[in-house]
Structure 1
Amino acid sequence: MQRRTFITSLSAVALSGTLWQNAARASSTLAGESPYGPLGAPDANGVALPAGFSSRVVARTGHLVGGILWHPAPDGGACFADGTGWIYVSNSEVPLIGGVSAIRFRADGSIDRAYRILSETNLNCAGGRTPWNTWLSCEEIFRGRVYETDPYGVRGAQQRPAMGRFKHEAAACDPDNRVVYLTEDEDDGCFYRFVPDVWGDLSSGRLEVFCVDDVWRPVPDPTPAVLERQTRHQVSTARHFSGGEGCHYADGVCYFTAKGDRRVWAYDATRRTVSAIYDGTGTLNGVDNITGTRGGDLYVAEDGGNMEINIITPDRVVAPIMRLDGQGESEITGPAFSPDGTRLYFSSQRGTSGERAGTGGITYEISGPFRR
């Protein structure tokens, strides 16, 4: 089923910065078209795309790519510039052997090599890139950790316990306010920020939680050892979100998704307020990983739903830009643009097999005239 849906609610506060700065407040559905046009028939890779776009498979779980076997259950990812080429990193959301793999691409898009940058960790789900070109890989387990990893494979990974021990999902760096935002995948999860003692060094700092009165308050014990002291329950006024997922910061706004209520939230870092820019009443389902472009477009991947990545434009149009057919038991993960904005990488975590172990994972690349 092809679809074009539109945001049904932009409530409370107009967003700041270049991104969404002209968004008007509205309570009704706005008609519009995808900037790329409708999706066509699925191609040879089972990917439905607008005219002018093409897809290729760059890696499959258990198959050799760039000299290594690609990991199971590929999840969160990001791209990093590397000379005339670039690197795509991808988490592995499986227990005990999770970790992160990286693929280096040459300037022409061909694969140069692949390698591991983190191993023997648990359920590495999402994460986030830093302004100093490291990848924060987050464990989605009870008392999960954040690992700071080197996409270039030179330095060893480092645990960052000061960023909290909880069921981590994603991270987004805010260089303007020198904080890192963090989401938590629990039914009553919280929205956090980590304030490092020194920007660029995540080894020490203060973990804070966003509260119902729009105030950030310190979490007394960021690394609790017992169930009764979990971070999300330590501050009585903490605001809770149902199933925190992806996280993306741009131009004074941190966007994050919550799969439990199908909302895309926006935290205005200037006004320190949170409002929903997509309220879940449209047909964008299973909101999960999120990324964005310099031009202000957001891209939201679906966990389930129609297995689509949807664009949300600054004028509030929501529409699919790709769809995977025959993979209804999977989820789309790790959307990230190449440094020049012409290629979009993502994975189908379980592929056509739908196996929870992620043995059928597939990592894709889409090329085309993306808005930048």
Structure 2
Amino acid sequence: MFVKFEELKSVIKKALLNAGLSEEQAEICSEVHAQSSRDGVESHGLNRVPRFIDYVNKGWVDLNSEMELVNARGFMEHYDGGLGIGIVNAKKASKRAVELAKEHGLGLVTLSNTTHWMRGGTYAWDTVEDGFIGINWTNTESSMPVWGSKKPTIGNNPICIAVPYKDRPFVLDMAISQYSYGKLEVTRLAGKELPYPGGFDKDGNLTSVPGDIEESLRILPIGYWKGSGFAIALDLMASILSKGRTAADMDREGKGSCTGCSQVFIAIDPYVFSTKEETEKIAEGLINQVKNAERIDPNKEITYPGEGVLARRKKALTEGVHVDDSVWEEVKKL
């Protein structure tokens, strides 16, 4: 079914207020959840609200906590998230990175002891819409087997990279698994299979059936062993720079998805060494080559990361935001 964006946001906000969030917290979080569904990332939009409220009820998210500055050195700052609301913490951290970049040309903020930020692309879009290159990532509890193993031992550690380009920025938002567990859930709820194999079933066979991957917990890393190595690198950098938890630490504590995680937010001024016109000309050369590449399917346009989001956003604001019927009814009752 499809609902208007404002109605979606209103229903989510009501559920969050009922869960004990303040007016300001509920406004920020409902906006982000609704925007995620609007942009086609349903798994971290409406669908994630019941789990977030469950974590609040379990005491895994501290509604009274605010992130605090721990240390600062030049363009780098480190904050403790105090197990506060992940969206609120990440919004503040990414904004602070931009402020540092305005002063130094580059801003780097690390955040330890925080909670799930929902859609990581939210903060990359915020940064690029402020005119800066954005890079942000988070570690997670173990959700993917390290290459050559059978059981989850590393996180799928989503990373986002955004680069300004006219009114159509490049925004890459991806997990280090071929598909996130959220994407598996959305595909399963829709009664569909994945377009490409996304993991192994319990018998060790590659499969496109999302439920079989969810059962085995053997999600496939991007690039096979390369993605596995990249996931480890992202975890090490996030946890070391923030003096925070690794996947191994979160596994031992066992408090669900991303509770106590470590995050990094980087903002870079793209015009430090060149003008806006020069940077756009540089980007245009590559983007034109990408857009004009010979198509496998003549009827299917080639797009770069970010274009699809803008198209889905435009469509959702005129035709309504797609929501899963059962999830919609569940959230309305919260």
| TM-score normalised by L of structure 1 | 0.23
Task: Considering fraction of residues, name the structure with more helix.
Answer: 2
Higher relative contact order (CA 8 A, sep 6+): 2
Task: Considering fraction of residues, name the structure with more strand.
Answer: 1
